Copies of this chain bind each other. A is one copy, B any other.
Amino acid sequence: MSGAPFQHVAIIGLGLIGSSIARAVREYIPDMRTSGFDASEETRAKAKALKLCDHIGSNPADGLDQADLVILCVPVGAMEQVLADIAPHLATDAVISDVGSCKSSVIAAMRAKVPGHIFIPAHPVAGTEKSGPDAGFSSLFQGRWCIVTPDANTDSAAVERLSRFWQVLGADVETMDAAHHDMVLAVTSHLPHLIAYTIVGTASDLEDVTQSEVIKYSAGGFRDFTRIAASDPIMWRDVFLSNKEAVLEMLQRFSEDLSALQRAIRWEKGDELEELFTRTRAIRREIIEEGQDDAAPDFGRSHE
């Protein structure tokens, strides 16, 4: 495909995101070559059965040097080790990128392990609660944002090529400072996951209400939280540890606001509650207007 930003992408880690990239490349850049690497034999077997990539293997010595774009799709806590493992096998002029949900720690790992390479951290803000190579799909990035966080020294032509790659996969691309990215994602993604994990844990640990009752009556609101609390445990453990400072900061803000609301309930300040509940409704409307969620009631869940 003439004008394609890269000729050969190597995807390291064939989970939900990695396998979605492989599928999207197949669909939108059919002439691009794809290599997939994964340490798990089970994942490789599934990926082979799905014919996700032209080449699927575990050993980076086995052709990684042919790729002009290498994207790490592993949990952020594994990035440093994976970078160390692949470093000797990278083509000199390959662009190294990733899809991690926090950028500062990934940048530190890239600086330490692949200092001689062009590395451009990136984060497609997309996903589902499912994991593994069979969970991916080619349209995952359509209409979603991909945030790239180069620093002042990053080759701008390479940033442009990587941005074009993501655009072809359907994403809108935004450039941002890595520290700011980590703060933004702490509130739009990490804090929501933390809260969801907590409430699902709380609900399953009560004496007066059984777990079976919690499940039975979950349609009252609880079930909405269980979706993101079903996300990959390892991936999310790593996110919270890697983006610790920003997450703790947002958590502090949230706890203060929750205390204020608790006080409003205790003192029966109905006006304060109503004011907040009216304000939050407007934000939902804007998210739908911006095309970042389904306008259908109930997320478009089927009501047969």
A residues neighboring B (CB under 8 Å): 77, 101, 125-130, 135, 137, 139-140, 142-145, 147, 174, 180, 183-185, 187-206, 208-209, 211, 213-231, 233-234, 236-238, 240-241, 244, 247-248, 250-251, 253-255, 257-258, 261-262, 265-266, 268, 270, 273-274, 276-281, 283-287, 290, 292-294, 297-304
Q: Inside 8 A of A285's CB, which chain B residues have their CB?
A: 230
B residues less than 8 Å from A297 (CB atoms):
128-130, 135
Q: Are A202 and B240 in contact (CB under 8 A)?
A: no
Q: Can you report 11 A-B residue pairs in the complex whose CB atoms are below 8 A from each other?
A: A126-B219, A127-B220, A187-B214, A191-B203, A192-B220, A214-B283, A215-B290, A226-B284, A227-B284, A233-B277, A255-B258
**Set B142, B197, B206, B250: member contacting A187, Cβ < 8 A:** B206
B280-A201 in contact (CB<8A): yes
- Complex Cα distance, B116 from A206, in Å, reads 38
Contact of A226 with B129 at beta-carbon distance under 8 Å, contacts A187-B214, A197-B276, A200-B283 already known: no
Q: In the bound complex, how far is the Cα of B236 from the Cα of A270, in angstroms?
A: 10
Q: A188-B213, A196-B221 are in contact. List 14 more A-B contacts (CB 8 A).
A: A185-B220, A187-B209, A188-B218, A189-B222, A194-B261, A195-B195, A195-B225, A202-B250, A203-B283, A215-B286, A227-B293, A237-B274, A244-B266, A255-B255
CA distance A227 to B281 in the complex (A): 8
For A222, the chain B residues whose CB sits under 8 A away are 187-189, 192
Chain B residue with minimal CB distance to A249? B208
User: Roughly how many angstroms separate A213 CA and B292 CA in the complex, as a whole number?
Assistant: 12
Instruction: Give Cα A162 to B11, complex, Å.
Output: 59
When the two chains form the complex, which single residue of B195, B229, B274 contacts A284, counting CB atoms closer than 8 Å?
B229
Give the complex CA separation of A143 and B67 in angstroms: 52
Note all chain B residues with C-beta closer than 8 A to A183. 208-209
User: Which residue from chain B places its CB closest to the CB of A234 in the assembled complex?
Assistant: B274
Chain B residues whose C-beta falls within 8 Å of the C-beta of A137 in the assembled complex: 303
Q: With A and B bound together, what is the CA distance between A277 and B88 in angstroms?
A: 35
Is the beta-carbon distance between B195 and A273 smaller than 8 angstroms?
A: no
Q: Is the CB of A198 within 8 A of B257?
A: yes
Residues on B with beta carbons closer than 8 Å to the beta carbon of A287? 215, 218, 223, 226
> A172's closest neighbor in chain B, by CB?
B216
